Amino acid sequence: MVSVKLHKNGTTTAISVDKGENLLKIIQRSGYDFYAPCGGNGTCGKCRVSIMNEGVVTSCLYPVNKDIEVILPDDREMKVLSSQYDHSTDVEPDIDDTYSLSDSPHGVAIDIGTTTIVYYFMDLKTGGITDIRSNVNPQVKYGADVISRINFTAETNNGIEELQKQLVDNINFVIGKFCKKHNFSNSDIVKLSIVGNTVMLHTLLGINALSIAHAPFTPVFTDTKIVDPAVLDLNTNPDTKIILSPSLSGYVGADIIAGLASIKENFYQKQFLFVDIGTNGEIVLVTKERILACATAAGPAFEGANISYGMSAVKGAISSFKDGKHKVIGDAEATGICGSGLIDIVAYMIETGILSFEGNIEGDFILPDTKEIKITQQDIREVQLAKSAIAAGISRLLSIAGISVDDLDNILLAGGFGNYIDIKSAIRIGLLPDVNIDKYIQMGNTAGNGAVLALKSSAFISVMESLKDKMEYIELSADPDFSMEYAMNMFFSQ
């Protein structure tokens, strides 16, 4: 027998199970309402859970062979997984030359984020997601944002080679772990689909992105690329097909185009905002006549950086704060605050009058029932900078398109951070528009979903390229009204 501890919504259930039992079946018989739309056949990849000290796994494909602690998605995240499944398109898989390279051909869809890298392993014969893994982008040691990393390459001999090595080593490490766990050979990895922001794709290929850091912010490439695996020194099949999805500009990358293309076509009969909130906030406005895109330097506050007690969304992080009470990831003692918790806390401080219209507080705000975890005046300034950048970008796109926020049918929130934020709190602090909450849809990791679709089908790559051709990039640094919008959105409503 082995022990399984299931954590969800602040409660823990501990049970003993037979070694080798299927994790999804364990969860289901334990009485949890758990989302598995394909019925546990391993094809949708939505029954994901986080296992402490191991990472994200697909529960229907996971045999329990040791004592584990499992963090189940909370009700909000389950709703996101449901939304992603309901609102995402699908494609018929290709049968191409890569399938003949192995008796067990597998592909990997990789979403290289500034802070996090997510890997989706697919059985190319069945189209099923075999495994999902994620880890911190190892480049963070050289800076929390892309400009810091570009500066590192400019100031350091062989800096671009070092950033490239960090990514390649990480990919090789994760592929190696996957193959060992599932008893595959590295030569069974025959296809890779990679998305990411434009700077991440440049550094992956060892191409200096210095031109993106300075006006007119022009990338070296934005087209779809087919890359020779020998160029990247990857430990995969020597004939592996590597596909990099297209980008739009220096700051609207392949992750955004892949995410947009993954949305069902019926959305394009509407008017909607697509918002990916991260270190670099990307915003796309789809109207009946135009598709406008921009990027804003939100900074890393919502990723937990530059915040006194900020941390990633891992065990010990305060992820929610309501009515003076907090929830902690993993039901552990609180050791810090992740982005979703930060937004809730600031909303609470506004609502209770602790935080003024201008963003001032009298002394640090110490969170109740914690060992002096606090919000400082500088933390509030970081939040103001981040939320005003996103809000001003949204405002400018709407103005340029000649429509108001009330003309929108939906606001789609993409990315890992968009999964977890409480929309009411985000509206309260002025991060997101104050519209009917029913218009909001939290879509999850659309970039990763797009990377998976590109792995399955070359036709989807054509969809991304066609979408790119329709998009207009708005450079906010050259927009004369952006600075005023940015300044006006620094304040909090009372």
Those residues whose C-beta lies under 8 Å from the C-beta of residue 223, and which sit 6 or more positions away, are 246
Domain ranges of the chain: 2-73, 97-258, 309-375
What is the model's pLDDT at position 77? 63
Size of the chain in residues: 494
Domain 97-258 in the same topology as domain 2-73: no
Give pLDDT tens digits along the chain (494 positions): 888 888 876 678 888 988 888 888 888 888 777 767 666 666 666 777 888 877 777 888 888 888 888 888 766 666 655 566 677 788 888 888 888 899 999 999 999 998 889 999 999 988 888 888 888 899 999 987 889 999 999 999 999 999 999 999 999 999 999 999 889 999 999 999 999 999 999 999 999 999 999 888 999 999 999 998 888 999 999 999 999 999 999 999 999 999 999 999 888 999 999 999 877 889 999 998 999 999 998 777 787 778 999 888 778 888 889 988 898 887 788 899 988 999 999 999 999 999 999 999 999 999 998 878 999 999 999 999 999 999 999 999 999 999 999 999 999 999 877 777 899 999 999 999 999 999 999 888 899 999 999 999 999 999 999 999 999 999 998 899 999 999 999 999 87
pLDDT at position 76: 62
- Cβ contact 377:402 at 8 Å: no
The pLDDT value recorded for residue 75 is 64
pLDDT confidence of residue 462: 95
* pLDDT attached to residue 164: 97
CATH 3.10.20.30 fits 2-73, yes or no: yes
Residue 78 is predicted with a pLDDT of: 62
pLDDT value, residue 276: 92
What is the pTM for the complete model shown? 0.85
Residues near 157 by beta carbon (within 8 Å), at least 6 away in sequence = none
At 8 the pLDDT is 78
- Taking CB atoms within 8 Å and a gap of at least 24, the contacts of 478-486 are 478/215, 479/396, 481/396, 481/399, 482/392, 482/393, 482/396, 485/391, 485/392, 485/395, 485/396, 486/388, 486/389, 486/392
Could you please state the CATH topology (level 3) that the domain comprising 97-258 is classified under.
Answer: Nucleotidyltransferase; domain 5 (3.30.420)
Single out the residue of 410, 169, 392, 375 nearest to residue 266, CA to CA.
Answer: 410
Residue 302 is predicted with a pLDDT of 81
Element (H, E) at 485: helix 482-488
- 418: closest CA among 83, 46, 193, 140? 83
